[in-house]
């Protein structure tokens, strides 16, 4: 393992990294379970709010549009590894704030809205964790992390949501295996 530090908690040996496969369509809980680990999601906040310029651009919305923001912290084997901000187009998910948002959004979309993921775009950059991400992950402000921005379409090619994932730098390794024709 790798030695890591948590704010006001001390140093720890981190477990093996999660293999985050960009090619294989999977949600957090399924991906973690498939690797023999135990996932847990904790809802931090959920609300309808005005979208930032970045979110309007990602979701191809006019300026000052409203979006549903869902913020969650995620654990693998009891260890905080991920802070994620989900931004949903509200017209596609009426009443979603009334659901249990600790569960998989992928499964909730399919079960309650008949919305199934299709195309996805990933953008990844190393980052210094901002205040909300650092607090949720219990690390110091500015700690190294990996930001994965995902833009998701459904099988009807509608742009449905986007996610800003903030991973601990020592929690995952990203993989993409592309086979030739």
pLDDT tens for 152-170 read 999 999 999 999 999 999 9
Q: Judge whether 106 lies within some domain.
A: yes
Half-sphere exposure (Cβ direction) of 2: Cα atoms closer than 13 Å: 10
Q: How many domains does the chain fold into?
A: 1
Question: pLDDT of 110-122, one tens digit each?
Answer: 999 999 999 999 9
Q: Is residue 154 part of a domain?
A: yes
Q: Does a structural domain hold residue 169?
A: yes
In a domain, residue 130? The reply is: yes
Q: Give the mean pLDDT of 21-47.
A: 89
Question: Computed from CA positions of residues 103, 107, 109, 112, in that sequence, does the dihedral angle turn out positive or negative?
Answer: negative
Q: What is the CATH number of the domain that holds 48?
A: 3.40.1410.10
In this predicted structure, the answer to whether residue 31 has a pLDDT above a threshold of 60 is: yes
Note whether residue 179 is domain-resident: no
d(CA 20, CA 175): 6
Q: Decide if 123 is inside a domain.
A: yes
In a domain, 181, yes or no: no
- Residue 79, domain extent: 2-174
- Per the domain annotation, does 180 fall within a domain? no
Q: What is the pLDDT of residues 94-105, one digit of tens each?
A: 999 999 999 999
């Amino acid at each position: 393992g790798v030695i890591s530090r948590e704010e006001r908690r001390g140093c720890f040996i981190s477990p093996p990294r999660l293999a985050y496969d960009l090619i294989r369509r999977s949600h957090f809980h399924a991906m973690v379970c498939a690797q023999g680990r135990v996932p847990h999601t904790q809802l931090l906040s959920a609300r309808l709010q005005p979208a930032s310029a970045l979110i309007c651009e990602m979701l191809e919305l006019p300026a000052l549009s409203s979006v549903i923001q869902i913020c969650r912290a995620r654990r693998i084997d009891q260890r905080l590894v991920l802070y994620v901000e989900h931004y949903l187009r509200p017209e596609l998910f009426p009443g979603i704030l009334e659901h249990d948002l600790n569960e998989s959004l992928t499964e909730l979309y399919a079960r309650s809205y008949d919305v199934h993921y299709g195309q996805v775009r990933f953008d990844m950059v190393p980052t210094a964790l901002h205040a909300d991400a650092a607090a949720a992950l219990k690390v110091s402000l500015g700690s190294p992390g990996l930001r994965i921005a995902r833009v998701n379409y459904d099988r009807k090619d509608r742009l449905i949501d986007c996610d800003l994932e903030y991973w601990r730098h020592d929690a995952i390794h990203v993989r993409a295996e592309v086979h030739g024709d």
